[in-house]
Amino acid sequence: MNDKVHACSFCGAPQEPDRPLIAGIDGHICEACVGLAHQVVSSWGRGRALAAPLKSPPKPLEIKEHLDRYVIGQEAAKETLAVAVYNHYKRLASESKNPRRTLEDDDRVEIDKSNILLLGPSGTGKTLLASTLARIVGVPFVIADATTLTQAGYVGEDVESILARLLDASNGSREVAEWGMVYIDEIDKLARQGETAHGTRDVSGEGVQQALLKLVEGTQVKVNPKGRKDAGESVLIDTRNILFVVGGAFAGLAKVLMRRLRPGPSSIGFHAEVGAFAASEDRDPRLYQSTHPDDLRQFGLIPEFIGRFPVLVGLQELDEAALVRILTEPRNALVRQYQQMFVFEGVRLDFTPEAVTAIARLAIERGTGARGLRSVMEGLLQRAMFELPSMSNVVECLVDAEAVTGQGAIQWRYRGADSADVQAEAGG
């Protein structure tokens, strides 16, 4: 009978009843060292898969310059996202070059991730920022919608479906997916609703917030790769290094902020100042940049969820000057899009500067931010786009401020016609 007590050949830990050892030909290994070896080997695999992106990660200035081509304004949000993406790359490079090699690395500093919460009125560019960012990053990036999520066991998608999509974006590579980025839109729709009149549970609100807690902070989640041709057994994904960015319009948060920043009169009755609080409704366009975690708690997010997102970025409302720039400056500006549609018919579409300003003013009146611009443009050009394919000899379409406000008509210029003929056509 062999009573010899063996020890782990890697860490030297002796064999005990609660510490069994795996025996090899010339040595033994304990469970802790097996787990460590698995982490090191996984890090090697990720490093090989992301070798190209890690060789030349974009610098924050380069990321912001790329965002500037498509997103107008929101400088604070673009700088924050640029720094977050760059730090994410630095974390990947650190993990690939210096993986954890012993159970106790006293000289090794592990970099934690800083998840980001974007908040601002509808139409300020939150989703556009995320979709543009997806073109820049070299790591897997997915955009999910919080409105489709429910608690596990109920009709709808559970939070693990986000990781399944990230796994698909990584071509099934678990190692690459564990270093990806996730953007969850409409996060404000998860605000706590409480018990309804019928006593039903809030399975798509607070329940989803609680389900996201461990996922966002860092845990191991078993994901079933549904729908993949090579789908086999479930995959265990570690979310510790996945960067999460969430965004939402948070409609109604402005009232919470104004109550804190501009408290109304405390008196009631005959001597109260009736117009005092009404005057405070003219809020600052940068109101959302003053958001504190307690404001989000009053809105309906649970404190544990708020604490997982240490970086709060408030997007400011777009003014008339910003909307004019959005119409004309980005690569995919709306004016350029409609001009290209008219080019397909062989016609040049022109807007006067006053017409562009009038379009921006109408969008502000509708209160839907940059999304209102397309609605105004569609209503303005719908009749022209209906008639244009059936017209002949048209070379130019001119839109002025009178046409935008409804006080005039869109002007057509025909081949061989002078300016006087154009004005007569528009007036007739």
* pLDDT tens-digit readout, 265-288: 555 555 555 544 444 445 566 788
Task: Specify the domain boundaries for CATH 1.10.8.60 within the chain.
Answer: 320-427
Q: Is pLDDT at 94 greater than 70 in this prediction?
A: yes
Q: What pLDDT is stored for residue 327 in this prediction?
A: 92
pLDDT recorded at residue 195: 47
Taking 80 as the threshold, does the pLDDT of residue 153 lie above it? no
Gap between the Cα atoms of 350 and 152, Å rounded: 53
Would you list which residues are annotated within the binding site?
A: 8, 11, 30, 33
How high is the pLDDT of residue 201? 54
pTM above 0.75, yes or no: no
Is the pLDDT at 105 greater than 70? The verdict is no
- Pick 156 or 34 by higher pLDDT: 34
Annotated binding site for Zn(2+): 8, 11, 30, 33
Q: What share of the chain is helix, strand, coil (3-state, %, to 5)?
A: 45, 15, 40
Once rounded to an integer, what is the mean pLDDT over residues 184-200? Answer: 68
Q: In the predicted model, is pLDDT for residue 46 greater than 60?
A: no
pLDDT at position 362 is 92
- What is the separation of C-alpha 72 from the centre of its chain, rounded to a whole number of angstroms? 16
Question: In angstroms, what CA-CA distances link 386 with 343, 405, 410, 425?
Answer: 15, 20, 13, 18
Confidence of residue 426 (pLDDT cuts 50, 70, 90): very low
Topology of the domain comprising 52-99+111-194+201-262+276-317: Rossmann fold (3.40.50)
Highest mean pLDDT among 82-96, 174-188, 388-402: 388-402
Phi-psi region of 19 (alpha: psi -120 to 50; beta: other; left: phi over 0): beta
8 A C-beta contact, residue 383 and residue 412: no
Q: List, in sequence order, the alpha helices (H) in 332-370.
A: 334-343, 353-366
- Closest-CA residue to 339 (of 388, 390, 290): 388
Which CATH architecture fits 320-427? Orthogonal Bundle (1.10)
- The pLDDT > 70 percentage for the chain reads 78
Residues of the chain with CATH 3.40.50.300: 52-99+111-194+201-262+276-317
Residue pLDDT, tens place only, 363-403: 988 877 888 899 999 999 999 999 999 998 999 999 999 99
